[in-house]
């Protein structure tokens, strides 16, 4: 459950990065509210990189590559899409100050987008913050079926490939739960965060996209590898 500070705090990009490193992040109460507040949920959402679930149907869709995936090609369009109204989210917390802050982080190389395009039009995507071996997902949107799911799976595959240790979703929704996202206690999240900040995740450059086949192979291969490692650890203790 999130808790809002009683007093709004002026936030700069540098302060924002330090806050992420401490496990907190900013939100506005609405798009029309100019103030930002620090949020530190008691239960934090994470998507374990060693146990991501991909349905057979989605795997076929990703392999088919019906949508083009781009990285960091149009931050403004992505955040516009995330801030737009949709049936499941009639209002948004993305206010003007959020737009400004994350645009600055994007220019600094700490905010990134994964985007899905169809015939030259942006149809889905997500954005978030990269800090060492952690990626903090902020928001996603989809205008056609599976657009945000494809973006998320491409992000996850690149994180595994790049040696990341933590994919933070902040909260867990039904949309994220289908991929294996789960809630953990704040103390457990802090341990995972500290562990992630000890390494430098290799984030891809804009042209370093993966094929759909590569995405599925990396995610499922990592799942199998981690399962075998855990089985080996149990055997070693026996």
Q: Where are the domains of the chain?
A: 43-88+109-237
Tell me, what's the pLDDT at 56?
96
Residue 3 has pLDDT above 50, yes or no: no
Tell me, what's the pLDDT at 171?
93
The tens digit of pLDDT for each residue in 170-224 reads 999 999 999 999 999 999 999 999 999 999 999 999 999 999 999 999 999 987 7
Q: Is 59 exposed, middle or buried (0-12, 13-18, 19+ CB in 10 A)?
A: middle
Give the residue from 177, 128, 181 showing the smallest Cα distance to 151.
Answer: 128
CB 218 within 8 A of CB 157: yes
Strand partners, 183: 45
Tell me, what's the pLDDT at 11?
82
State which H helix or E strand residue 19 sits in.
helix 13-22
How far apart are alpha carbons 238 and 234 in whole angstroms? Answer: 6
Tell me, what's the pLDDT at 5?
43
The tens digit of pLDDT for each residue in 10-57 reads 689 999 999 999 999 998 888 788 888 899 999 999 999 999 999 999
Residue where the block lists tokens 């899409």: 81
Instruction: Say whether pTM exceeds 0.85.
Output: yes
How far apart are alpha carbons 61 and 77 in whole angstroms? Answer: 24
Q: What kind of fold does domain 43-88+109-237 have according to CATH?
A: Aminopeptidase (3.40.630)
The DSSP result for 55-73, as a single string, is -HHHHHHHHHT-SEEEESS
The residue length of the chain stands at: 238
In 10 A of CB 22, how many CB atoms? 12
Residue 2 has pLDDT above 50, yes or no: no
Strand partners, 25: 39
In 10 A of CB 41, how many CB atoms? 18
Quick one: CA torsion of 220, 226, 232, 238, rounded to 10 degrees? -120
Please provide residue 203's backbone torsions phi and psi, each rounded to the nearest 5 degrees: -85, 140
More confident residue, 92 or 136: 136
More confident residue, 137 or 233: 137
State which H helix or E strand residue 233 sits in.
helix 212-237
Residue 104 has pLDDT above 80, yes or no: yes
């Amino acid at each position: 459950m999130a808790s809002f500070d009683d007093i709004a705090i002026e936030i700069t990009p540098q302060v924002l990065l330090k806050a992420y490193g401490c496990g907190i992040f900013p939100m506005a109460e609405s798009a029309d509210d100019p103030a930002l507040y620090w949020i530190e949920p008691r239960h934090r959402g994470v998507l374990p990189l060693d146990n991501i679930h991909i349905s057979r149907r989605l795997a076929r869709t990703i392999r088919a590559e019906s949508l083009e995936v781009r990285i960091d090609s149009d931050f403004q369009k992505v955040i516009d899409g995330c801030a737009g109204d949709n049936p499941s989210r009639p209002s948004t917390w993305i206010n003007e100050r959020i737009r400004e802050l994350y645009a600055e982080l994007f220019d600094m190389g700490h905010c990134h987008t994964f985007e899905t395009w169809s015939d030259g039009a942006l149809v889905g995507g997500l954005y978030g913050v990269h800090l060492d071996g952690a990626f903090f997902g902020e928001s996603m949107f989809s205008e056609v079926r599976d657009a945000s799911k494809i973006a998320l799976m491409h992000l996850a595959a690149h994180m595994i490939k790049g040696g990341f240790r933590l994919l933070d979703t902040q909260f867990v929704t039904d949309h994220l739960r289908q991929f294996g996202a789960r809630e953990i206690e704040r103390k457990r999240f802090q341990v995972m965060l500290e562990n992630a900040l000890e390494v430098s995740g290799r984030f891809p450059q804009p042209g370093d996209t993966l094929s759909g086949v590569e995405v599925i192979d990396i995610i499922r291969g990592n799942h199998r590898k981690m399962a075998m490692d855990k089985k080996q650890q149990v055997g070693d203790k026996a």
